[in-house]
Amino acid sequence: MMTADWTIFARSGAQMMNESWHEIPAGEIPRLRMDKLSSYGFRREGNEYIHEEPLLDGAFRMYVKAADDGMVSSLLLDSETQEPYVLHLVENAEGAFVGSVRTAYQEALNRIGECCGEHGAFHGEYVDEILHYVRETYGDEIEYPWKDMDSAVIRSHVSQKWYAVFMKILPVKIGIGGKHPIRIMNLHGTAEQVTALVDGERYFPGWHMNRKYWYTICLDGSIPMEELQRRVDESFALSRTKRRKPSNGKA
């Protein structure tokens, strides 16, 4: 948007605009890093950063603002009427058009989260807590080794082996219901452990991994954090490089 257009937006209907901003729940976008916003195109306005971009070939203009306290809000304006559009936020609103608006809106949020968020595509309080545990306990960080931001790994900085693999998949891939993609994490285990854990409810056969030694969990909070931390500890232990025995059999 040109500066003149932004001035018109800022001056017209200010009170209505303030009431029309939608606070984005934490689970829909990661905590944004303020040092990354300017390079993405956000502009500083007082104590907030504001970004705008066209959606659906300019039919709508989407605004996203990030406050210094971490709150992120969005506003969608109909380019023709300059009125706020909210049907994409109504869960039971159906139809091809509102569906296309909802998809474009979510894709825009995903792009911002992936480029400016603390943990790229994998975020939310549950994921943030396990990533914090890994960082504080082992000094390792989540990595995105592929161009696909829907896949990530945590590797041991000691052995360079993976001990956690993150993916976004359709629920049917692991045998559960639902039509929207879900976030999962694969962890390493012994053959005996994997056999004992996999129940098809909370623990699933490792997706896209060796199912004898890997298992999958959903990143939806279904496993208590303390239990999940133990599983991460076990997976990390298996990532350590095994010491070879001397040829004479002595330690």
Rounded Cα–Cα distance for residues 239 and 161 (Å)? 6
Contact 188, 163 (CB under 8 A): yes
Residue where a domain terminates, one of 85, 116, 147: 116
Indicate if 145 and 217 belong to the same structural domain: yes
Q: What is the pLDDT along the chain (251 residues), one digit of tens a residue?
A: 444 354 444 444 444 456 689 998 766 776 788 888 999 999 999 999 999 999 999 999 999 999 988 899 999 999 999 999 999 999 899 999 999 999 999 889 888 877 787 655 677 778 889 999 999 999 999 998 987 778 999 999 999 999 999 998 888 899 887 666 788 999 999 999 999 999 999 999 999 999 999 999 998 888 999 999 999 999 999 998 665 555 555 54
The answer to whether position 250 is within a domain reads: no
The answer to whether position 90 is within a domain reads: yes
**Residue 90, token pair as written in the block:** 């109504």
Contact 171, 178 (CB under 8 A): yes
Which CATH number goes with the domain that contains 206? 3.90.1150.30
pLDDT at 148: 75
Give first-to-last CA distance, the chain, whole Å.
70
Indicate if 37 and 131 belong to the same structural domain: no
The answer to whether position 246 is within a domain reads: no
Overall number of domains in the chain: 2
Rounded Cα–Cα distance for residues 77 and 100 (Å)? 15
pLDDT at 240: 84
The identity of residue 70, as a single letter, is G
What is the extent of the structural domain holding 216? 125-239
Burial of 67 (0-12, 13-18, 19+ CB in 10 A): middle
Rounded Cα–Cα distance for residues 201 and 116 (Å)? 34
Residue where a domain terminates, one of 52, 87, 116: 116
Indicate if 17 and 109 belong to the same structural domain: yes
